[in-house]
Amino acid sequence: MSSTMAELAVLRPNSLSLIVKRLIDLIGAVLGILILLPTFLVIAILIKAEDGGPVFHRRRVVGKKGEFDLFKFRSMCVNADTVLQNNPELLAEFQKNYKLVNDPRVTRTGRFLRKTSLDELPQLCNVIVGQMSLVGPRSITHEELDKYGQMRHLLLTVKPGMSGYWQTEGRQKVSYQERVNMDIRYVQNWTLLWDLRILLKTPQVVLKGEGAH
C-alpha cells in the first residue's frame, strides 16, 4: 500500500457520525442566517457606502466535490488583484504565505470585518448547500494544494470549514507549513467531540480578535 493510500485509510468515520455532523451544519447555518440577518444588512450597507463596489467577494476554492465559489463580504478595494500584481514585494509575500499581514488593499470597513471575522458570515450559505462545514480544514485554492504534497488527496476527502483547528489554535500566528500540518492532523483524527470543542471555542477566539488580519 502506498503512503498516500495508507493515510487515506486512516479516515474511516462511521455513517452516523457524518449524518450528525451534517445535521449540526444545517441547523447551525440556518439559525445563524436567521439570527444574523440584520447584521448582514448593516454590513452590506457599510460596504456599499464606502466605495460603491460589490458587497460580496467570490473566492474559487477546492472541496470534497471539486471547485466551488466561496462567498465572503468584500473586505478589499475593488481593484485588489491589480494592486497586488503591480507590487512585486506584496506579490512575493502573498505567494509565500497566501496571506498579507498588513494588506494595503483592505478597506476601512474591511479591517473591521476581518478583525471580527464578520466577513466570513456569507459562508453559511456554502454550508447550507453542502459545499462547506461549520468545522473543517481551511478553505484553499487549487494552487495551494501543492503545499500539501502527498496529503493533498487526504485533504479532499472532507469539506473545508468556516472554523477549524487552525482558526482556533493558530490563526495568523503560525507559518504556512504549520497550517498545512494542522489541517492534516484534523482530518486524520476527526471526531464529533473535537468539532464541538472547536465550535465552542470559536466565539472566544473571534471576540478576542487574536491573530486576525
Examine the pLDDT at 43 and tell me if it is beyond 90.
Answer: yes
Domain that holds residue 123: 3-206
In a domain, 61, yes or no: yes
Give me the pLDDT at residue 3, please.
44
In a domain, 85, yes or no: yes
- Residue range 103-160, pLDDT digits in tens: 888 899 999 999 899 999 999 999 999 999 999 999 999 989 988 988 899 999 999 9
Position of cell 483592505?
Answer: 106
- Of 86 and 5, more confident: 86
Cell output for 82:
491589480
Count up the domains in the chain and report the number.
1
Examine the pLDDT at 171 and tell me if it is beyond 80.
Answer: no
Give me the pLDDT at residue 12, please.
57
> Which range (65-79, 90-104, 139-153, 198-212) has the least confidence?
90-104
In a domain, 211, yes or no: no
In a domain, 114, yes or no: yes
Which residues are within 8 A (CB) of 21 and not within 5 positions of it... i.e. 6 or more apart? Answer: 133, 192, 195
Average pLDDT over residues 12-22: 85
Distance from the first to the final alpha carbon of the chain: 42
3-state SS track over the chain? CCHHHHHHHHCCCCHHHHHHHHHHHHHHHHHHHHHHHHHHHHHHHHHHHHHCCCCEEEEEEEECCEEEEEEEECCECCCHHHHHHCCHHHHHHHHHHCCCCCCCCECHHHHHHHHHCHHHCCHHHHHHCCCCEEECCCCCCCHHHHHHHHHHHHHCCCCCEEECHHHHHCHHHCCHHHHHHHHHHHHHCCCHHHHHHHHHHHHHHHHHCCCCC
The pTM of the full predicted model, rounded to 2 decimals, is: 0.85
- Give percent above pLDDT 70 in the chain: 90
In a domain, 212, yes or no: no
In a domain, 167, yes or no: yes
Cell output for 72:
465572503
In a domain, 79, yes or no: yes
